[in-house]
């Protein structure tokens, strides 16, 4: 009989700050803590590289979950897009043939 404990994967919500890689986005997750000595609310941020099959854009709020290691720095994947950014999609102009 094995005593292996299976932990539930962590999940977080953050904002996409970079999508320049193929099928990978950089998501910034922010939370607040109270400083133990000064009792001031301090913001902390962490940047996660996540696997993206949804086509996220910069500024989108996404839901991440922990997964097996996909590469050296990529251990998260995008589960869903919580909110799309209000930025318009940039259309690529086709060259005009003269």
Domains, in order of start, for the chain: 11-83 (2.40.50.140)
- Least Cα distance to 11 among 59, 62, 70 occurs for 62
pLDDT recorded at residue 64: 96
Q: HSE on the CB side for 15, CA within 13 Å?
A: 8
Cα distance from N-terminal residue to C-terminal residue, the chain: 76
> What integer is the mean pLDDT of 74-98?
75
Which residues 6+ apart lie within 8 Å of 51 measured at CB? 23, 24, 67, 70, 74, 76, 77, 78
| Token pair listed for 62 | 């996404």
pLDDT recorded at residue 91: 47
pLDDT recorded at residue 85: 87
Work out whether the CA dihedral 17, 45, 68, 65 comes out positive or negative.
negative
The per-residue pLDDT for range 28-83, each reduced to its tens digit, is 999 999 999 999 999 999 999 999 999 999 999 999 999 999 999 999 999 999 99
């Amino acid at each position: 009989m094995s005593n292996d404990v299976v932990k539930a994967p962590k999940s977080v919500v953050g904002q996409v700050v970079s999508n320049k890689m193929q099928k990978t986005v950089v998501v910034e997750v922010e939370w607040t803590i109270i400083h133990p000595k000064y009792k001031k609310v301090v913001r902390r941020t962490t940047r996660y590289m996540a696997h993206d099959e949804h086509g996220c854009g910069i500024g989108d709020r996404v839901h991440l979950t922990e997964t097996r290691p996909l590469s050296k720095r990529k251990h998260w994947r995008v589960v869903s897009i919580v909110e799309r950014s209000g930025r318009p999609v940039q259309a690529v102009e086709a060259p005009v043939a003269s």
